[in-house]
Amino acid sequence: MTKRVAILISGGGSNMLALLRDMAAGGHPAQPVLVASNDPAAAGLVKAAAAGVTVAAVDHRPFKGDRAAFEAALLEPILAAEPDILCLAGFMRVLTPAFVGRFAGRMLNIHPSLLPLYPGLHTHQRALDAGDAEAGCTVHEVTPVLDDGPILGQARVPILPGDTAETLAARVLVQEHRLYPAVLRRFAGGDRSPLYL
């Protein structure tokens, strides 16, 4: 039985598309069953629907910071899709421990830094400010602590002279689109050993 995968996005969804493409490539132990967003205008929703995947949107703004109420609404389409695995892909809302607990051990996230370096935001600028020689991305299991949890994969890129946060982000994004599909393929096949590209 292929694993059922729901993907949560907030924007363009380039990582979500990379996951869809790989699952459509055949021989994959998983299939996409939902793409959901906290932003009804997320461009990724149109792309997911065009790819034939069920989509859903729950605007977080009317909930005015009541995370539990927003998550209760978001859970409806997610539970209806009966996912085995949840993939956060450019999803920009912090999830409560209660929500994370429902998917313990089967929720993944991609973060644009070499965790444990630079959890949180503005990861590329922080790497530049620190004078790091390299940067990268991490896929990890989601736990109640933000951007923590067991590392399932990492990919590295060099930081080059003259790099800005934008040029570095673009270089890392290319690796995100390689790493996340490779990690999901392994994870869905029952292999949780970390992959270093």
Name the residues that contact ligand GRF, by CB under 6 A: 9, 11-16, 89-90, 110, 112, 137, 173, 176
111 carries an active-site annotation? yes
Catalytic residue, candidates 28, 111, 124, 177? 111
Residue whose CB is less far from ligand GRF, 112 or 149 = 112
Q: Is the dihedral of CA 106, 47, 95, 152 positive or negative?
A: positive
In the complex, the smallest distance separating the C-beta of residue 149 from ligand GRF, rounded to whole angstroms, is 14
In the complex, the smallest distance separating the C-beta of residue 119 from ligand GRF, rounded to whole angstroms, is 12
- The rounded distance, in Å, linking the Cα atoms of 151 and 195 is 9
In the complex, the smallest distance separating the C-beta of residue 14 from ligand GRF, rounded to whole angstroms, is 3
Residue entry with tokens 């270093």 = 196
List the one residue out of 167, 171, 102, 100 whose CA is nearest residue 140: 100
What residue number has its CB nearest to ligand GRF?
90
Query: Cα-flanking dihedrals φ and ψ of residue 2, to 5°?
Result: -75, 150
Helix (H) or strand (E) holding 167: helix 165-188
Residue whose CB is less far from ligand GRF, 30 or 87 = 87
Q: Catalytic site residues? A: 111
